[in-house]
Amino acid sequence: MRKFIFVLLAGSLVVSPAYAQKVRIVVLGSSTAAGNGASVPDSSWVGRTKTYFKSLGQLDTLYNLAFGGTRTEDALPNNGENGSVTRAMALHPDLVIVSFVSNDAVADIPIATTMSNLRTIAKVVTDAGKICWITTPHPRNSFTTFQNNLQKGVRDSTYLQFPGKNLDFWDCLVASDGVSINPIYDYGDGIHCNDAGHFQMYAVVKAANILAPFFPLPLSFVDFTAVRQQEGNLLHWTVGGKGSCPSFEVQRSGNGSDFRPVAEKTSADDGNCTIYSWLDASPPAGRSYYRLKMLSDGAIIYSPIVSIGAGAAQPFALSALFIPESGALLSVHLQTDQNRRITLSVMDAAGSVVRREEGQAFAPSSRFDVPLDGLAKGLYFLHITSSDGKRVTKGFIFR
């Protein structure tokens, strides 16, 4: 979670309200953020993001300071004529998106240096009382093993160091080899993404609800995952925001482009219109792609796409995550192919760890109950790490 060569923007179809105050966004980054690979600027992920928030009446201005060939060091305070965080803050933004996806690895810059640069940039933004989102790298072809490891290390560090404020541009674009661009998203140079790839990154930004602190949220997808189990492919998704209980159409594709409905879901598993799951007991051979069509209060919203290959059950994955009716704990169901020591961390939307539990996960699956008493209502993220380096992150709503 394939070509998106169709005239359909994943978004609300209802007339948007007028807001008295609108948000200013600044984008810092390199060539992908600048729009390279997109056929026209409006088809880039930044262009689509601008169009979407404009259509909702929430965006005042989006300034794109991204420039091809730049690295994280170019965005440090007072570095660069136009693309530094100093220049970004001079534009008086409410929110900054930082997106350097591969040029640090091109230059063999150590993971620690890249992450130090990103932390410095983010601190300038947050010290000013503004919001900063950091994107992960995205895949790139023809890298050395060392450079691929740099990319994956920065990806994992971004998940950990900017919890609740990271945008995952890796999983939505990566090929089956785990390091290069999925061919259906490749612009043709092995570096940049085509319109379909840019759509995938836009979908990640949209699904993250980056303007949630500024406006009341309509219903939207908090997350959407697919897990291979012995019984089939288990889909699990969470929605958040305000609206009536939605209905869903589950859609499946064998090529990531041509989707067909395979199921409908009309009632929530937990009774509060938040957490849903569906088992595809008869997936076709090969890789399957899934997306969700959500209908609520007259609005149609599409989820990001997730994919799952054929074969054995996944070695380490969440099979279910929900809050029972008591609301006092988080029920975590973990699928594992071997016994592992694990750490479960609950983080709030600001990235602070509010609960941490240690435990032993036993194959093939284990259940853990994480207490939630004393927590404020809102959006949280569960991050699970194992002693052998496995990881999984999932968002949930605590009501």
The strand ranges marked E within 230-348 are 232-240, 247-253, 260-265, 275-280, 288-296, 299-302, 306-308, 316-322, 329-336, 340-348
Of the CATH numbers 3.40.50.1110, 1.20.1530.20, 3.40.50.10490, 3.40.50.2300, which one belongs to the domain with range 23-207?
Answer: 3.40.50.1110
Quick: pLDDT tens for 150-188.
Answer: 999 999 999 888 988 999 999 999 999 999 999 999 999
pLDDT band at 80 (very low <50, low <70, confident <90, very high): low
Quick: pLDDT tens for 360-379.
Answer: 988 777 888 888 888 887 77
- Quote the CA–CA distance of 314 and 78 in Å, as a whole number: 46
pTM above 0.85, yes or no: no
Closest to 296 measured CA to CA, from 252, 226, 241: 241
Phi-psi region of 43 (alpha: psi -120 to 50; beta: other; left: phi over 0): alpha
The yes-or-no verdict on residue 329 having pLDDT over 70 is: yes
Q: Are 368 and 356 in contact (CB under 8 A)?
A: no
Of the CATH numbers 2.60.40.2550, 3.40.50.12170, 3.40.640.10, 3.30.1650.10, which one belongs to the domain with range 315-399?
Answer: 2.60.40.2550
Of the CATH numbers 1.10.3720.10, 3.40.50.300, 2.60.40.10, 3.40.50.12280, which one belongs to the domain with range 217-312?
Answer: 2.60.40.10
Dig out the tokens for 221 from the structure: 């997808």
CA distances from 141 to 182, 202, 355 (A): 9, 21, 39
- Quote the CA–CA distance of 174 and 169 in Å, as a whole number: 9
Residue type, 323: I
The domain locations on the chain are: 23-207, 217-312, 315-399
Q: Do 23-207 and 217-312 come out as alike in CATH topology? A: no
- Quote the CA–CA distance of 178 and 171 in Å, as a whole number: 9
Question: What proportion of the chain, given as a percentage, has pLDDT over 90?
Answer: 49
Q: Which residue has the higher pLDDT, 124 or 80?
A: 124
